[in-house]
Chains A and B, each alone.
Chain A
Amino acid sequence: MSSLLSAPSALREDALRRLKREMWARAVKLGLRSWVGWRRGFTSKADPQRSGRVTAEVIEHLERLALVDFGSLEAVARLEKAIAFADRLRAVDTDGVEPMESVLEDRCLYLRSDNVVEGNCAEELLQNAHRVVEEYFVAPPGNISLPKQDEQEPFSHI
């Protein structure tokens, strides 16, 4: 990756595009085909029974924010029902009412004194992680965002 950073920008972009393609190829092999596949199905067939609040844009936005996918049309339908259910709140008159964050709002939150009383348990904590190197949790590179729907390659060549 370090050589990628020092290459001229055009080459870098090309390499990034290749990397994204590889990523998607692998993701598909590992079974995320259905994730992308259902979304294609979604855009091509409009379900007349749905209210249309949850558009393709909203779906993509939510999936990106939540890093959790809908997975099926039913899940979208469930979200629409959930939104319709929540819309009932509009009927309540809340003029002049302050939002309530906690039932203990009239009390002071307890803060303990700033003294170290526990810790030094790195080894114990690292045991629960799948990938560690010495005292580090190992994460994949963080500067690559999930590709947008229109950047996906067609599946015919895979």
Chain B
Amino acid sequence: MLGRTLREVSTALKQGHITPTELCQKCLSLIKKTKFLNAYITVSEEVALKQAEESEKRYKKGHSLGDLDGIPVAVKDNFSTSSIETTCASNMLKGYVPPYNATVVQKLLDKGAVLMGKTNLDEFAMGSGSTDGVFGPVKNPWSYSKQYREKRKQKAHGENEDSNWLITGGSSGGSAAAVAAFTCFAALGSDTGGSTRNPAAHCGVVGFKPSYGLVSRHGLIPLVNSMDVPGILTRCVDDAAIVLGMLAGHDPKDSTTIQDPVKPFTLPTSADVNKLCIGIPKEYLAPELSSEVRSFWSKAANLFESEGAKVIEVSLPHTSYSIVCYHVLCTSEVASNMARFDGLEYGHRCDINVSTEAMYAATRREGFNDVVRGRILSGNFFLLKENYENYFIKAQKVRRLIANDFVNVFNSGVDVLLTPTTLSEAVPYLEFIKEDNRTRSAQDDIFTQAVNMAGLPAVSVPVALSNQGLPIGLQFIGRAFCDQQLLKIAKWFEKQVQFPVIQLQELMDDCSSDFEIEKLSSVSLKQ
């Protein structure tokens, strides 16, 4: 049951093959078994069981709230959740219990979703590995997969099984790991520079970033107000579309959400691929790109061509500057957003009491880690009077050039862009920490952050396993507010590539009944 898609489980719930409470308990038990992954910071067991009970009552009366009713979900720990601790994986907010729900969380709960817990991340969502939070790093479930382990046995003998585990990517690594390990059916992440798509590619799940302005940011603890977007992580594109349908729409509490009406939609299975024009940005052929990713990228382009789509090379000339521009804008906005943490109204407060400035300084020193402090200081540097014009304003101008690059490409008839999501498959943690956070972010966000600067929708779809048995994903970028069309194309592609299911051997032995392919009479992947 846990290996099913959201739609299939929802049907099973409606038909009474399983109850919400049973489903919730299975997920809770799996969360306990996969505790070593460190995907969850807080597991909201009581809350989840209570919500499951209420969902069960609704199903018994035949009043289900829809496709999400009774479905276990997880939420990244930088979304405010009422009465549930929200920490952003930082000492600054340890013990902070918000008095309200983020709009997206509220929408999920209103549709009957069952909240399993809050997932782990890089501190304040700053990072590309989910390794820099105070609760420790998140381990990629694929480190323990049969597919990876078998390949490793051929290379290293007698090695300690757990010493060389892989990172999940970040910063929404906990959410990606939670979905990949079957502990929930959907998870919320946040995407500022690729933080949803990067871990999705490394963990073999679908990571969707909606257009900026489509989904409310109210309650998402902000990093970069002009680029942040709540992201959706699921095991298939169809599930992401279901969740998007529930979350999208204007929110009076977030004035940066557009006011156009948004209706939930069902994705068709066919995509009229022969009418499409796919763009391949030539500047994305980076020298650091691994040959395996490049080969899958090329195969994907050929696949579209063989189905009759027009596949053309396009140019995004300012690509090489986009990571620099992102770096300046991100640190500047971060410097501003982190100023709210002073220990007075919420969060950590130090013991010094002689003056506000001394108190703020000590509180912030104790509350933030090196990465956050480094970004605040860099941001403040770029915002100094003497630097403002040359760095911040300059970066804003370059941002317009980058956004225009995309506009020009889409205006020339391209429907969707196809690019890699990451440079390579997930790397071992010990390898990852050899470089500092800023360097890694600059390297790993290369394909993903330009999309945030232009506010476009994008999705990472898992394509195939590498030679080492690890997932590789490819990214589709769509036109602004054409999220539905983007997902339609992604769904078609996903069906063609048939990405393999992760085989978590130890877990399967313990709860094999959960993973048996049960034949349910009217449930089918074909719609």
Q: Which residues of A contact B (CB under 8 A)?
A: 19, 22-23, 26-27, 30, 32, 35, 54, 58, 61-63, 65-71, 75, 78-79, 81-83, 85-86, 88-92, 94, 97-104, 107, 109-112, 121, 124-125, 127-131, 137, 139-146
Q: How far is the CB of A43 from chain B (nearest CB, A)?
A: 18
Determine chain B's interface SS by DSSP, over half rule: helix
**What's the Cα separation between A125 and B257 when bound, in Å?**
26
Q: How far is the CB of A12 from chain B (nearest CB, A)?
A: 16
Given A30-B362, A67-B364, A103-B226: A92 and B401 within 8 A (CB)?
yes
Q: Is B480 an interface residue (CB 8 A)?
A: yes
* Apart from A89-B398, A92-B401: 14 A-B pairs, beta carbons within 8 A: A26-B354, A30-B362, A62-B384, A68-B373, A86-B382, A89-B325, A90-B390, A103-B226, A103-B403, A127-B99, A128-B345, A140-B356, A144-B354, A144-B355
In the complex, the answer to whether B395 meets A89 with C-beta atoms within 8 Å is yes
Q: Which of B351-401 contact A (CB under 8 A)?
A: 351-362, 364-365, 368, 370, 373-374, 376-378, 380-382, 384, 390-391, 393-401
**What's the Cα separation between A91 and B318 when bound, in Å?**
11
Given A27-B358, A140-B355: A110 and B259 within 8 A (CB)?
yes
When the two chains form the complex, which single residue of A23, A30, A71, A86 contacts B327, counting CB atoms closer than 8 Å? Answer: A86
Give chain A residues whose Cβ lies under 8 Å from the Cβ of B397: 92, 94, 97-100
When the two chains form the complex, which single residue of A22, A65, A88 contacts B380, counting CB atoms closer than 8 Å? Answer: A65
Given A79-B377, A104-B256: A145 and B327 within 8 A (CB)?
no
Q: Mark B79-114, 1 if CB is under 8 A from A, else 0.
A: 000000000000000001101000000000000000
In the complex, the answer to whether A66 meets B376 with C-beta atoms within 8 Å is yes
When the two chains form the complex, which single residue of A66, A109, A139 contacts B344, counting CB atoms closer than 8 Å? Answer: A139
In the complex, the answer to whether A112 meets B252 with C-beta atoms within 8 Å is yes
**What's the Cα separation between A18 and B355 when bound, in Å?**
14
**What's the Cα separation between A112 and B321 when bound, in Å?**
38
Number of interface residues of B (CB under 8 A): 73
**What's the Cα separation between A70 and B382 when bound, in Å?**
16
Q: Is B255 an interface residue (CB 8 A)?
A: yes
When the two chains form the complex, which single residue of B349, B360, B399 contacts A131, counting CB atoms closer than 8 Å? Answer: B349
Q: How far is the CB of B449 from chain A (nearest CB, A)?
A: 13
In the complex, the answer to whether B99 meets A121 with C-beta atoms within 8 Å is yes
Give chain B residues whose Cβ lies under 8 Å from the Cβ of A68: 361, 364-365, 368, 373, 376-377
In the complex, the answer to whether B398 meets A140 with C-beta atoms within 8 Å is no
Q: Is B250 an interface residue (CB 8 A)?
A: yes
Residue contacts A-B, CB under 8 angstroms, 25 given: A27-B354, A30-B351, A32-B362, A67-B360, A69-B373, A70-B373, A75-B377, A82-B378, A82-B438, A83-B381, A86-B391, A88-B321, A89-B328, A92-B401, A94-B397, A99-B400, A100-B396, A102-B226, A102-B256, A109-B255, A139-B344, A140-B352, A141-B354, A142-B355, A144-B355
When the two chains form the complex, which single residue of B381, B394, B403 contacts A62, counting CB atoms closer than 8 Å? Answer: B381
Q: Is B436 an interface residue (CB 8 A)?
A: yes
Given A58-B381, A89-B394, A99-B400: A129 and B364 within 8 A (CB)?
no
When the two chains form the complex, which single residue of B258, B335, B390, B401 contacts A97, counting CB atoms closer than 8 Å? Answer: B401
Given A71-B373, A94-B398, A112-B252: A140 and B226 within 8 A (CB)?
no
Q: Which of B296-332 contact A (CB under 8 A)?
A: 318, 321, 324-325, 327-328, 331
**What's the Cα separation between A97 and B395 when bound, in Å?**
11
Give chain A residues whose Cβ lies under 8 Å from the Cβ of B257: 110
**What's the Cα separation between A61 and B381 when bound, in Å?**
9
Give chain A residues whose Cβ lies under 8 Å from the Cβ of B321: 88-89, 91-92
